[in-house]
Amino acid sequence: MMSPSRATAARAATSVPNESTPSTLEKLREFLETARMKEKMGPHAFAQFEKELHERIMEAERDIVAAEMARLDVDADAVVINGKVHRRVLRQSQTYMTSAGEVVVERTLYKDRKDEDGRCVSPMELTIGVIGDFWTPRAAEQALWVATQMTPKKGEELFERVGNMDPSKSSLDRLPKLIAETWEGNREGFEKMLRDGLQIPEGTVSIAVSLDGVLAPIDGANNPTDVRARAAEEGRLSKGPAGYREAGCATVSFCDDEGDLLGAIRMARAPEPKKRTLKKTLAAEVSAILRGHPDLKLVKIADGAADNWDFLASAALPAGEEAVDFFHASEHLHAAIAAAYGDGTRETRHRYEVLRDTLRDEERGVEKVIRALKHLASKHPRRETIAESLGYFRKHKKRMRYFELQSKGFMIGSGIVEAACKTLVTQRLKQSGMRWSTRGAQAILTPRGWDQSERFDKAWALVAATFHAEVTVLANVIALKPRSEPRRARARRASR
């Protein structure tokens, strides 16, 4: 017969190693007493004092953490984990990375004997929430954040200089992929929980939704060497970033009554057909925000790319105002005027500034700009740039009501999503010599997006919780064996 009790009941009886902690603290006291006896201490000596003090404190922290981990170990005949009975197999030492550095802890391993292919598990690791059989939760959180900001090599150097834990660059490279595997396995559920807990900035009056893309060196594109070789065979020069694919970026910006930014959600996905996952996630974010805050106004902003507007203007998003990014429109305007009056001339500068201000600040300004471009096109019929710009303004005329949009307090620029393309993707994925797999790129983009959206802590709490499990100790376990026959009966049966 087996009677269950909580794991905490068994832990009180577990012996906790405590010999090392007092000695470490005693060494720390001796170090401080020795330092106080020195009458003078220059800058170099004080820096060395700080370094040694930090090392000794980290040593004490490691001892304390290791002792606490050992205390949380469960040494019983059987435990229940996720509704399944696991029986004790052996005790074994394991190295763990804590936020103070590596520790070695002896823990008990258990196995579900009904699952022949199952792996042994440690109740201590499940109670603490150890990640990847190696990282304590706090250490993994710190390491993941660092991995989103810099290369594993620079991350290794950073931890070495700081002097806390000392993970290797290979460990820093593997961790984001491990977290991404867990996140992507339940991505929609995790994202819904983030949306449910979202608090919009105080003073928000409108939201601006934007979509864009940026090329990055991610596997799946044409090989750069092959592209250039093919171009050479055809007698032409290879132009553009060969071997690159487009990563998608999207933002939801929270704006005040004057259209100024209060905060933003930033997200990015590795290359995929038509940015399907990114668009689905963006639509879910916008719909959730407007369901919770139906009084908010909505504007959709992007450059003139057809794929962006096929989505933004579709029924996938709630109805709202639409605007072509003012700065992209200004670039097309400048190109047309420069084609007529020369790039960099005083005439070009003057006419551009007048028409730019007209476009932005005057009612029906886009109509006046179109008339001006028609005049230039008639004067310079062979200048293709002028004709192309005129077509651009005619096509997006309804999305260039900048005076009206500003008077309603809307943002008119897509600078937030363009900045996200740079800070979220380019700065991390496009450093010298980098090449990414789709899986590896997404493993960085997801937590980097959390960080730039002020969601890192909440998202980390969700994914870290998946490495935790409740453990119940089974007391009074009796191993029942089939009743064996008497020896004489077995002998008679064997002789027949």
DSSP 2: -
What's the CA gap between 85 and 400, in Å, rounded?
66
Region 275-304: mean pLDDT is 97
Share of the chain above pLDDT 70, in %: 87
| pLDDT the model gives residue 30 | 84
The CA distances from residue 262 to 201, 255, 405, 419, in Å, are 6, 5, 18, 15
Region 239-264: mean pLDDT is 91
What's the CA gap between 60 and 58, in Å, rounded?
5
Q: Which helix (H) or strand (E) holds 330?
A: helix 326-341
**Model confidence over 93-108: pLDDT tens digits?**
999 999 999 999 999 9
| pLDDT the model gives residue 63 | 93
| pLDDT the model gives residue 200 | 95
What's the CA gap between 307 and 248, in Å, rounded?
11
Task: Label residue 100 left, alpha or beta by phi (over 0 means left) and psi (-120 to 50 means alpha).
Answer: alpha
Region 188-210: mean pLDDT is 97
What's the CA gap between 298 and 323, in Å, rounded?
11
Q: Contact 369/359 with Cβ under 8 angstroms? A: yes
| pLDDT the model gives residue 118 | 87
| pLDDT the model gives residue 44 | 77
The answer, yes or no, to whether residue 349 has pLDDT greater than 60, is yes
The answer, yes or no, to whether residue 136 has pLDDT greater than 90, is yes
| pLDDT the model gives residue 496 | 55
- Count of Cβ atoms closer than 10 Å to residue 302 Cβ: 25
What's the CA gap between 444 and 150, in Å, rounded?
10
Q: Contact 397/329 with Cβ under 8 angstroms? A: no
| pLDDT the model gives residue 484 | 56
Task: Label residue 486 left, alpha or beta by phi (over 0 means left) and psi (-120 to 50 means alpha).
Answer: beta
| pLDDT the model gives residue 240 | 59
Q: How far is CA 242 from the centre of its chain?
A: 27
Average pLDDT, the chain: 89
The answer, yes or no, to whether residue 479 has pLDDT greater than 70, is no
DSSP secondary structure string, 128-148? HT-BTTTB-HHHHHHHHHHHH
Please write down the HEC assignment for all residues of 235-264: CCCCCCCCCCEEEEEEEEEEECCCCCEEEE
Enter the pTM of the model.
0.85
The answer, yes or no, to whether residue 322 has pLDDT greater than 80, is yes
Q: How far is CA 460 from the centre of its chain?
A: 9
Region 390-408: mean pLDDT is 97
Q: In what order do the strands lie in the sheet with 206-216?
A: 261-269, 245-255, 206-216, 297-302, 321-324
- E-state strands within 277-406: 297-302, 321-324
Residues 6+ apart with CB under 8 A from 316: 279, 283
Region 1-12: mean pLDDT is 36
| pLDDT the model gives residue 1 | 36
Band (263; pLDDT cuts 50, 70, 90): very high
The answer, yes or no, to whether residue 315 has pLDDT greater than 60, is yes
What's the CA gap between 23 and 174, in Å, rounded?
36
- Of 174, 435, 421, 430, nearest to 278 by C-alpha is 421
**Model confidence over 146-172: pLDDT tens digits?**
999 999 999 999 999 999 999 999 999
Token duo for residue 72: 């949380």
Better-predicted residue by pLDDT, 148 or 485: 148
Residue with tokens 């897509």: 414
The answer, yes or no, to whether residue 233 has pLDDT greater than 90, is no
Strands 297-302 and 206-216: parallel
Amino acid at 221: A
Better-predicted residue by pLDDT, 138 or 222: 138
The answer, yes or no, to whether residue 72 has pLDDT greater than 50, is yes
Q: Is 318 helix (H, G, I), strand (E, B) or coil?
A: coil
Share of the chain above pLDDT 90, in %: 78
Band (288; pLDDT cuts 50, 70, 90): very high
DSSP 76: S
Q: Contact 218/244 with Cβ under 8 angstroms? A: yes
Residues 6+ apart with CB under 8 A from 288: 195, 196, 198
The answer, yes or no, to whether residue 193 has pLDDT greater than 60, is yes
**Model confidence over 415-453: pLDDT tens digits?**
999 999 999 999 999 999 899 999 999 999 999 999 999
| pLDDT the model gives residue 229 | 74
State the Cα angle at 99 between 144 and 434, rounded to 5°: 30
Where is mean pLDDT largest: 25-29, 228-232, 306-310, 490-494?
306-310
What's the CA gap between 359 and 403, in Å, rounded?
8
**Model confidence over 11-53: pLDDT tens digits?**
333 234 455 445 777 888 888 888 777 766 777 788 888 899 9
